[in-house]
Structure 1
Amino acid sequence: MKVTNRREAMLQAVLSGMTDVSALCEHFGMSEATVRRDLRALADERRIVRTYGGAAASLGIHEPEESLDSRRESFREQKEAIARVAVSHVQDGDTIFLDGGTTTAAMARLLAGRRKVRVVTNNLLAVNTLAASEVPLTLIGGDLRPTSMSTLGPLAQLALSRLSVDKAFLGADGVVADRGLCEASAEQAYLKECVIRQAAQLFVLVTSHKLDRASQQHWTPLEREWTLVTDARRDAPEMASFLLHGEVTVETAR
């Protein structure tokens, strides 16, 4: 493995919570000297913070958020496949929550012909699709976040506390099996936590490049059973931690 690729993999391991030198040595099958050298190089680039016996994520560093137009175009086929699997779980009589994001917006397009499903959402992309259909629709109000065309904040949190849903379908900037969902803002992360409390069943919809990825600094814990729907192959390295996790059911969309 090239040095740059190895260090990028080590960075992702540290961001995912693997912060001890001995654990990194075992995980990568490398000597302690090599691991320490790579950690030192990442720290010099200010991508992590060195600690006694290991490293930690630098709280001030996160990837720039992708624009809405870019997200609409990227991984379009994969998102459509994930949406089809997710919609297969929606039964007549269900009340479901669609989170902000382009994958859940793809779900909305597939639900537009349904009449016996109620949709609760903060996703204005989904609203734009469903408003012209006969799907009963509840929009969660709040502060508009233009970069995702979704609503959040105290009013959205209050609205969610007054209702419950059968199934919640959430997106994320990244998902780590033992840590949860990462988001670009604290408001996004906390709104997802509010949704999780009100949902009987939980589904997380992410493309494969978001698996085991801690690209942002705000987190929503996943401390209950949930289903991961992704386009990643089951034998992909980034799937290992999810397949071994006792509270995660994995479904692949191809």
Structure 2
Amino acid sequence: MSKSKRAPGVRRAEIRRILRSQQSATVEELCALLQASPATIRRDLAALADNDELERSHGGAVVPLLREAEQNFAQRESIDAEEKQAIAEAVLPLIAPASTLFMNDGTTVMAIAKVLVESGIELFVATPAVNVAAKLSESRAITACLLGGFVRQTSLATTGPFAEAMAAQINADLAIISPDGLHAEHGLTFMNADDASLARRMVAQSRSIVAVATRPKLMSVKRVAGVALSSVDHLVCGCSRAEIPAPLTDSGVNIISRPKERK
């Protein structure tokens, strides 16, 4: 089996995700999951341990026990992970250097944040997501602005009037919005009213809007209306165009779908 050519930062981010999800892993398990050599994995684990991001164990590594919200987030990250990575890579060309962005919260947004950090692009990013802001702050080229508000434990994101008041003071070039559901007629919908309200504020303050959604969210309607699909400039999906429901392809929104697999 050929070994992967992933950059060390990408590989180590994946190791962190794996350990957050399952708490521990052996070198052999990580080699199989990442298609890397034992020597490479051991170097990665040593580097992460030096940064106090994990603890070495006999033959592998463990992470300290996470809060329930962090564990839930790590588990959700593993769902449709390939689609989320495809979305993140497709969003990157839409972002101009030195631009100002809004990004809401969620695991797809986190995937985008990781790609932005790896790209080295200079940006100003405002987000309600505590974990996304922390990830973005790893890049010296990115100014991460955490929108203040009440931190909801289930999402690791801020909500409420304070977050909206901060967002109202920012004029963004682009808003990247990950909804809970996306429908041709009902637009971008959310489970939480505060999330819907903040998304509307971000859209109102931005010159261009990008909606991002994995296949299970397409043609799904959630509890609270958020943003009309007509307000969206680009819809970025992680699935192939053939998998996108016809009502969305016929809606007139510009759809960026997953490219054909390289041979």
Helix, strand or coil at the partner of 2:105: coil
Deviation at 1:115? 4.7
Mark the runs of 5 or more structure 2 residues left unpaired by the alignment. Answer: 1-71
**How many residues in Structure 1 have an aligned counterpart in Structure 2?**
185
Query: Which residue number corresponds to residue 243 of structure 1?
Result: 249
Q: Does 1:217 align with 2:223?
A: yes
1:176-231: per-residue Cα shift (whole Å, max 9, x none)?
A: 012111211111111111111011110111101110011x2111131424211012
Sort the Cα spacing of 1:225 and 1:74 in 2 relative to 1 into closer, same or farther, 3 A: closer
1:129-169: per-residue Cα shift (whole Å, max 9, x none)?
A: 12222111211111111211111100001011111110111
Query: Which residue number corresponds to residue 86 of structure 1?
Result: 91
Q: Does 1:116 align with 2:119?
A: no
CA distance in 1, matches of 2:258, 2:128: 25
CA distance in 2, matches of 1:232, 1:107: 16
Deviation at 1:232? 2.6
| One-letter amino acid of the structure 1 residue matched with residue 224 of structure 2 | H
Sort the Cα spacing of 1:115 and 1:83 in 2 relative to 1 into closer, same or farther, 3 A: closer
CA distance in 1, matches of 2:219, 2:171: 29
1:109-132: per-residue Cα shift (whole Å, max 9, x none)?
A: 111142521111111221121222
Query: Which residue number corresponds to residue 151 of structure 1?
Result: 158
CA distance in 1, matches of 2:232, 2:152: 29
Query: Which residue number corresponds to residue 10 of structure 2?
Result: none
| One-letter amino acid of the structure 2 residue matched with residue 229 of structure 1 | V
CA distance in 1, matches of 2:152, 2:188: 18
Query: Which residue number corresponds to residue 184 of structure 1?
Result: 191
| C-alpha RMSD over aligned residues | 1.5
CA distance in 2, matches of 1:79, 1:244: 23
Residues 98, 121 of structure 2: 8 Å contact kept:
no
Helix, strand or coil at the partner of 1:172: coil
CA distance in 1, matches of 2:210, 2:194: 20
Residues 232, 239 of structure 1: 8 Å contact kept:
no
CA distance in 1, matches of 2:113, 2:160: 23
| One-letter amino acid of the structure 2 residue matched with residue 165 of structure 1 | A
Sort the Cα spacing of 1:185 and 1:112 in 2 relative to 1 into closer, same or farther, 3 A: same
Helix, strand or coil at the partner of 1:242: helix
Query: Which residue number corresponds to residue 208 of structure 1?
Result: 215
Query: Which residue number corresponds to residue 28 of structure 1?
Result: none
Residues 177, 199 of structure 2: 8 Å contact kept:
yes
Mark the runs of 5 or more structure 1 residues left unpaired by the alignment. Answer: 1-66
| Mapping 1:42-57, distance limit 5 Å | none
Identical amino acids, percent of aligned pairs: 26
Q: 2:82 aligns with which of 77, 84, 99?
A: 77
Q: Does 1:136 align with 2:140?
A: no
Q: Does 1:125 align with 2:140?
A: no
1:44-75: per-residue Cα shift (whole Å, max 9, x none)?
A: xxxxxxxxxxxxxxxxxxxxxxx434311111
Helix, strand or coil at the partner of 2:112: helix
Residues 99, 124 of structure 2: 8 Å contact kept:
yes
Q: Does 1:166 align with 2:155?
A: no
| TM superposition outliers: structure 1 runs of 4+ over 6 Å | none
Helix, strand or coil at the partner of 1:235: helix
Q: Which has the higher contact order (CA 8 A, sep 6+)?
A: 1
Helix, strand or coil at the partner of 1:133: coil
CA distance in 2, matches of 1:219, 1:202: 17
Helix, strand or coil at the partner of 2:225: strand
